[in-house]
Structure 1
Amino acid sequence: MSVSVSPARPGRPDWLWHLGVVAFVALWWLVYRQLVPVAEWITAFFPVERHSHTGEAIAFFFYDVPKVMMLLTLIVFAMGVVRSFFSPEKTRALLSGRREGVGNVFAAMLGIVTPFCSCSAVPLFIGFVSAGIPLGVTFSFLIAAPMVNEVALILLFGLVGWQVAAIYLGFGLVIAIVAGWVIGKLHLEGWLQDWVRDIHSGADVAVEGEHLTMVDRYRLGLTAVREIFGKVWLWIILGIGMGALIHGYVPEDLMVRIMGAGTWWSVPAAVVMGIPMYTNAAGVIPIVEALLGKGAALGTVLAFMMSVIALSLPEMIILRQVLTLRLIAVFIGVVTAGILAVGFLFNVIF
């Protein structure tokens, strides 16, 4: 895949491009802030009770689809522009080798302060990969962004105290950093999808030996949006649609029976139960509170919460367009091992 930069069209001055980009960002922000009321407005047209399972699923779908689409568009455009300032070789040199561990730490910390659910984190993951950032570093972000959420930390602090919240933060960070580092050491770039691997290898870098203007860089960003958005938009809709169908349908009594069991298999069973579900950290906390109130074991409940957030089936559907099945399997295996360790540890300590 290659990207060429042709001269700006006559009659379209640079200031008009700058104004257009500023207007786009401002409009993007205004629309993004209205996603919740618009989703509620659309849901009101359906002949269902708003707070029924069906009503929750409809509202969830009409909020999450445009949210992820907008994030994908803005992030890929921004990364396309930023990438034009740095060659892939320089980027990889900066974040690879002896500095890769540092890159994992920074990526995981960025994930903590980024208020993204699993599917919302995918666009930034794609942007990182397209910028030539090492695969292991991007995975540290992808794991930390949904798993260690500031909303979850605050709510856990209120529910079970600062000690549990601090341990959750620490182990979430360790899982993200170590898992990303392990994936990076395995050198699995060849397991990316072909079109992503082409981007990652830098085959589409701009014109050699030519000074790029800001208009050229804008056009590179737009080209990146067209190419990447066109490959993943349908799978984003399908993944979130599946998540919306199961959103709110939580078999709470069955879950309590499994998670309250004092057997070794309760933790892995909770992880398996969490994978098909889809919500963000704030959405899963009420479920956590209800399960703890009914006597479920703390470590088992936390393992369930982390699997819901970090290993959701809709996320895997979207990632399938970026990663091969083998790489998805490695990702699931490494993250699952970390989540199981947290679950067993909390059950022993508390």
Structure 2
Amino acid sequence: MTTAELTRSLSLRIGRIDRVWIAIALVFAALALLAPAQVPESARFAVDALIHIAPYLAVSVAVAAFARASGLDHQIGRAFSGNAAQAILLAAAFGALSPFCSCGVVPIIAGLLGAGVPLAPVMAFWLASPLMDPEMFILMLPVMGLEFTVAKMVAAFSIGAVSGFATHMLVKGGAFSDALRPQLTKSCGCSGTSALKNEKIVWAFWKDRERRAAFGGEARTTGLFLLKWLALAFVIESLMVSYVPADKIATYLGGGEWWTVPAAILVGVPSYLNGYAAIPLVGGLMDLGMAPAAGLAFMIAGGITSIPASMAVFALVRGGVFTWYLALGLLGSLAAAYGFTLYLAISA
């Protein structure tokens, strides 16, 4: 075999390897050269993070696979595809009450978009879901107080609803005609509203061989898809934690200066502290003088635009939808924080 043939064969083999796994390998190769001590730290961090989120992802993947195999996704799609205003408000409310985190909701979103659900209610659900759930509400009460907790719940619903209506207006104007990436649209085997079939839900799907195969295929595809992207995201996050500690940066976000809220959003954007881990951190910082509005901005921005969540969104939808998602998250964080500031000033 000539050198050219060997090079071509090697290139073909490398081409078959998923680019995300290659990226992870390159990150660890760079660390091995530049910071060898960080290699086991990053590996341990990523594995621990994946283990922590595994139960939530397993449930969400199972739900998505069940919806696909039973035909439930089409019925959900029909429920979210009726009156636009009603569907958006329902999606925002359901998102604010659902127990899914920003990453765990991804397979549900993929199933909804694949079933032909319009982007507007999906966006409303997507943005509201990671910001609040019943368990988080209960845990926040003793740490943050009723006022702050209710403000975050209202912000979750409001951001979802406003984002849904804004998306609806853009879609009516011709934007975002195809949200899913091409490979995901193909794997779903459907596109657009043609997927909204009026078929009967088969709850006992395991009795049908084709539906069992559909369940297994959907679970395997979605699970591997999330695993690779979250693995890369957590490896990157491990570097942030090691070299840019969020708690030390957030310490400087106290006071009432004009830049406090934007700075809190910039800190919250890459940080995966949107859920329960953010509660004691932000609560402690507020006790030390951090402005409540900055704390709210930090938690909301982290919930919507954290690196793991953003990478999952990036892998799922086209570039225009991804950019719009980030813009809605940032603007929503800013609006919620300043709205909370105005409320505190009026009620003082």
Return the TM-score normalized by structure 2.
Answer: 0.72
Equivalent residue for 2:251, pick from 256, 265, 275? 256
Partner of 2:65: 77
- Contact kept in structure 1, 2:293 and 2:337, CA below 8 Å: yes
Q: Any conservation in 2 of the 1:270–1:300 contact (CA below 8 Å)? A: yes
Structure 2 counterpart of 1:147, one-letter code: L
Tell whether 2:124 aligns with 1:140: yes
- Tell me if 1:243 matches 2:233: no
SS in 2 for 1:321: helix
Are the counterparts in 2 of residues 79 and 128 from structure 1 also a CA contact under 8 Å?
A: no
Counterparts of residues 163-312 of structure 1 (less than 5 Å): 163-187=147-171, 188-198=176-186, 199=188, 201=191, 214-215=207-208, 216-229=210-223, 231-246=225-240, 250-257=245-252, 259-312=253-306
Contact preservation (8 Å) 1:135, 1:183: yes
Q: Distance in 1 between matches of 2:245 and 2:59?
A: 28
SS class of match (2:276): helix
Indicate conservation of the 8 Å contact 1:271/1:303, yes or no: yes
Query: What is the aligned-residue RMSD (CA, Å)?
Result: 3.4
Could you say if the C-alpha distance between residues 338 and 205 of structure 1 is closer, same or farther in structure 2, counting changes exceeding 3 Å? closer
The AA in structure 2 aligned to 1:159 is: V
CA–CA distance in 2 between the matches of 1:81 and 1:128?
A: 13
Partner residue of 1:318? Answer: 312
Instruction: Give yes or no for contact 2:114–2:195 (8 Å, CA) kept in 1.
Output: no
CA deviations on 1:31-53 (whole Å, 9 max, x unpaired) are xxxxxxxxxxxxxxxxx9xxxx8
SS in 2 for 1:119: coil
2:158 aligned with 1:158: no
Contact 2:88 2:161 in 1 (8 A): yes
1:331 maps to: 325
Residues 223/316 of structure 1: CA separation in 2 closer, same or farther (3 Å cut) = same
Distance 2:247 2:220 in 1: 43
Q: Alpha carbons of 1:330 and 1:54: their partners in 2 closer, same or farther (altered >3 Å)?
A: closer
Work out the number of aligned pairs and report it: 293
CA distance in 2, matches of 1:274, 1:101: 31
Residue type of the partner of 1:194?
P
Q: Deviations over 1:89-144 (max 9, x none)?
A: x86554335x2222222222322332222111212211222222222212222111
Distance 2:100 2:238 in 1: 17
**1:104–1:181 CA contact under 8 A, matched in 2:** yes
Q: Is the 8 A contact 2:246 2:271 kept in 1?
A: no
- Whichever residue aligns with residue 58 of structure 2, its letter is M
Q: Contact 1:64/1:240 (CA < 8 Å) preserved in 2?
A: no
Asked whether 1:95 is paired with 2:80, we answer yes
Which residue identity lines up with residue 100 of structure 1 in the other structure?
A
Give the counterpart letter for 1:157 in structure 2: L
Is 99-108 or 326-335 further displaced after alignment? 99-108
1:58-78, Cα deviation, whole Å (9 max, x unpaired): 563241463465245312311
User: CA 1:103/1:243 → structure 2, altered by over 3 Å: closer, same or farther?
Assistant: farther
Q: How much has 1:206 moved relative to structure 2?
A: 12
SS in 1 for 2:270: coil
8 A contact 1:144–1:173 mirrored in 2: yes
Is 1:349 the equivalent of 2:343? yes
Alignment-mate amino acid for residue 165 of structure 2:
W
TM-score by length of 1: 0.72
Aligned counterparts of 2:284 and 2:307: Cα–Cα separation in 1: 23
Query: Which residue matches 1:119?
Result: 103
Percent of residue pairs identical? 22
Contact 1:278 1:312 in 2 (8 A): yes
C-alpha distance in 2, partners of 1:123/1:79? Answer: 11
Gaps of 5+ in 1: 1-47
Amino acid at match of 1:315: A
Deviation at 1:305, TM superposition (A): 1.0
Range moving further from structure 2, 118-127 or 72-81: 72-81
Which letter maps to 1:250? P
Report deviation, 1:179.
Answer: 0.7
Corresponding letter in the other structure for 2:300: M
Quote the Cα distance in structure 1 between the aligned partners of 2:315 and 2:99.
23
Q: Deviations over 1:11-44 (max 9, x none)?
A: xxxxxxxxxxxxxxxxxxxxxxxxxxxxxxxxxx
